């Protein structure tokens, strides 16, 4: 799969233009502590964790003791608005420390504008972050944190900052901060949500949990082992507030959300099938692709052992290659070559992974993609089979490309599950399973569209749920590509098929689609006023909005209300799906 961006882009860090409402919410959150919440109600970047398009919040914190610390300035999308809000709150020259929970090119953009205003400030960050700052040509006093208590900061007035290193493959420089005076844990990437609202705190916990779970699934699930290690470290502290890097601050659900993180991480580690996802990322683009692929794998019920080759030793790579059911490697192309760490990892994988294992290759590049060609040719020559066509992304991946990457990950996982099922002995259906199969449902096609991204699936587990408002439930398997388009607030259409005329649409939407393939090619459709897709062959359709979704084993149960619809053919009967057993569709 190859994704090209416009020829006018000249850097591997080109970003989509941002638009829409922006502001900075300033409020006190604890003694001598102020939050500056840079908010956007629109999508900021084309990254997988922003796919819900509910906006986002980049949270920065200001602690005033005898000395002043600024924690986690936002990314470049907010630079101008953030600096204006900061100057209204304090003279930047009074800031003594700038604490970074992690670094990326977006945050460095703001740092370069901030540092001239804070000449006496010392940057406090992890050692990998300090190295990243040097690579970004930031020449400013830096105090690297290497672990232990020797680098803790006493700001005075009882504000004592303790730093907890929490690296993951995606953010090897990750670091959280705890203030013992206020019992606030500044949790950086942990416990957040990409959501923009007027609520500064987790006031609506049940609704927010869906966004927090999505955030975990996208960012944390592929790093479950490292997440559990980080949670053990954070468990040594007793915070009354999680001051998150993104989304609402967690005040009311600290205990519950912590338990959820432990539970979600354990679920990922407990998968009986797993994929070793090994990559390096020079500018963050390859890591973003890896994140999308990992999201596709985990939503299909297969675990991911994510490994950043730049931060891992050969023993970890070898163990993952030996134990995992399949492996996927990704690399940027630097100067026409793969980074040394990837070349080393490649040799380890070739020697450790059996030739029966499924392989995958991906990468990003600016002008050429020799590193991707190297990985592909080495695995081909060694006799490995590929779970998807090599993914080649020029410059920064956009939303459509990331959707294709996610679908590629799901396809990879489904092949592993199918192979395992084939090897397992066949077991006759039980009486209960046969009885469950007697439950019947109408044959429908669910269609959804958000911007340029669309999806469709055959559905027969549909049931009316409410009269007022008119609503129904539909079960969606977690590994369906359309699942990502059916979160609370999303819109979709339910197309009801006719008896005797359902086989054509049924066969079309049951067949496997390649990542990014047009699911509506050859099918007559039209769009409703709100942009949803209606099949011309349907006997009726409903325009729907997702209100809730419930996690039910291998499916999500979606509750949707109906905002419109039409019966197209009054004389036709609804097609009904009859099954012999309840163990499959």
For residue range 550-581, list pLDDT tens digits in order: 999 899 999 999 999 999 999 999 999 998 88
Cβ neighbours around 352 below 10 Å, total = 18
pLDDT number for residue 125: 96
Q: Walk me through the domains of the chain, giving residue ranges and CATH numbers.
A: 11-267 (3.60.15.10), 271-423 (3.40.50.360), 431-577 (2.30.110.10)
The arrangement of strands across the sheet holding 491-496 comes to 453-459, 444-450, 491-496, 540-552, 555-567, 471-477, 462-466
Distance of CA 501 to the CA centre of its chain: 39
Q: Is residue 388 reached through a cis peptide bond, with omega within 30 degrees of 0 on the bond before it?
A: no
Q: For residue 556, which of 470, 457, 438 has the smallest C-alpha distance?
A: 457
Rounded to 10 deg, the angle between the 205-215 and 254-269 helix axes is 30
Q: How far apart are CA 578 and CA 434, in angstroms?
A: 11
Tell me which of 16 and 474 has the higher pLDDT. Answer: 474
**In the predicted structure, residue 379 carries a pLDDT above the cut 70:** yes
What is the reported pLDDT for 151? 62
Q: Tell me the angle at which helices 340-352 and 314-323 cross, rounded to the nearest 10 degrees.
A: 40
The stretch 289-303 carries a mean pLDDT of 95
371, pLDDT greater than 80? yes
Over the stretch 482-541, which tens digit does the pLDDT of each residue have? 998 999 999 999 999 999 999 999 999 998 888 888 999 999 999 998 899 999 999 999
* pLDDT in the model for residue 147: 67
Per residue in 514-525, pLDDT tens? Answer: 888 899 999 999
Hey, is 579 helix, strand or coil? coil
Residue 12 has pLDDT above 70, yes or no: no
pTM (two decimals):
0.86
Three-class SS state of 108: helix
Q: Give dist(CA 103, CA 39) in Å, integer.
A: 19
- pLDDT number for residue 7: 29
Q: Which residue has the tokens 């703001």?
A: 110
Nearest in space to 214 (alpha carbons), one of 50, 102, 58: 50
Q: What is the pLDDT of residue 93?
A: 97
Q: From the centroid of its chain, how far is CA 60?
A: 22
Indicate if the pLDDT at residue 46 is higher than 70: no
Least confident range of 262-266, 364-368, 542-546 = 364-368
Rounded CA-CA distance 227/230 in Å is 5
| Euclidean distance between CA atoms 91 and 87, whole angstroms | 6
Per-residue pLDDT tens digits for 470-481: 999 999 999 998
């Amino acid at each position: 799969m190859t994704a090209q961006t416009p020829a006018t882009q000249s850097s591997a860090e080109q970003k989509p233009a941002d638009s829409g409402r922006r502001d900075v919410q300033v409020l006190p959150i604890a003694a001598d502590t102020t939050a500056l919440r840079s908010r956007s109600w629109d999508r900021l970047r084309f990254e997988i964790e922003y796919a819900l398009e509910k906006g986002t919040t980049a949270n920065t914190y200001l602690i005033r003791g005898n000395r002043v610390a600024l924690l986690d300035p936002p990314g470049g999308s907010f630079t101008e608005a953030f600096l204006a809000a900061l100057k209204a709150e304090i003279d930047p020259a009074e800031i003594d420390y700038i604490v970074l929970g992690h670094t990326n090119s977006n945050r460095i953009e703001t740092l370069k504008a901030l540092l001239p205003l804070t000449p006496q400030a010392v940057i406090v960050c992890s050692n990998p972050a300090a190295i990243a700052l040097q690579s970004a040509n930031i020449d400013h006093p830096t105090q690297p944190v290497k672990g232990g208590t020797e680098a803790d900061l006493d700001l005075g007035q009882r504000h004592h900052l303790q730093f907890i290193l929490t690296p993951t493959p995606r953010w090897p420089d990750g670091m959280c901060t705890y203030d013992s005076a206020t019992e606030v844990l500044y949790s950086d990437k942990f416990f957040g949500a990409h959501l923009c609202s007027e609520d500064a705190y987790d006031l609506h916990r049940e609704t927010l949990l869906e966004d927090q779970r999505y955030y975990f699934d996208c960012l944390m699930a592929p790093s479950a082992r490292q997440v559990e290690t980080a949670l053990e470290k954070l468990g040594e502290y007793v915070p009354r507030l999680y001051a998150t890097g993104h989304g609402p601050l967690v005040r009311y659900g600290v205990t519950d959300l912590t338990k959820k993180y432990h539970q979600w991480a354990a679920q990922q580690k407990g998968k009986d099938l797993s994929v070793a996802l090994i990559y390096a990322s020079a500018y963050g683009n390859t890591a973003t692709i890896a994140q999308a692929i990992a999201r596709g794998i985990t939503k299909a019920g297969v675990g991911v052992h994510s490994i950043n080759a730049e931060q891992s030793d050969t023993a970890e790579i070898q163990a993952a290659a030996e134990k995992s059911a399949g492996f996927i490697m990704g690399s940027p192309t630097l100067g026409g070559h793969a980074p040394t760490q990837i070349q080393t990892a490649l040799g380890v994988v070739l020697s450790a992974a059996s030739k029966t294992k499924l392989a995958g290759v991906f990468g990003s590049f600016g002008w050429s993609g020799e590193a991707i060609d190297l990985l592909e040719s080495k695995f081909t020559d060694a006799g490995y089979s590929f779970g998807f066509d090599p993914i080649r992304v020029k410059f920064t991946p956009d939303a459509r490309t990331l959707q294709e990457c996610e679908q590629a990950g799901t396809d990879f996982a489904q092949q592993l599950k199918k192979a395992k099922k084939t090897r397992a002995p066949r077991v006759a259906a039980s009486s209960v399973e046969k009885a469950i199969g007697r439950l019947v449902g109408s044959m429908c096609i669910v269609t959804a569209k958000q911007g340029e991204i669309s999806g469709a699936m055959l559905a027969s587990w549909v049931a009316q749920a409410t009269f007022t408002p008119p609503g129904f439930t539909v079960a969606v398997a977690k590994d369906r590509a359309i699942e990502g388009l059916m979160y609370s607030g999303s819109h979709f259409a339910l197309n009801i098929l006719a008896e005797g005329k359902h086989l054509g649409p049924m066969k079309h939407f049951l067949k496997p689609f390649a990542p990014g393939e047009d699911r509506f090619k050859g099918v007559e459709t039209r769009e409703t006023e709100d942009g949803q897709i209606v099949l011309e062959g349907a006997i009726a359709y409903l325009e729907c909005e997702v209100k809730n979704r419930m996690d039910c084993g291998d499916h999500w149960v979606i509750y949707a209300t109906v905002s419109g619809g039409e019966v197209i053919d009054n004389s036709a009967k609804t097609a009904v799906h009859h099954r012999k057993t309840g163990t499959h569709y």
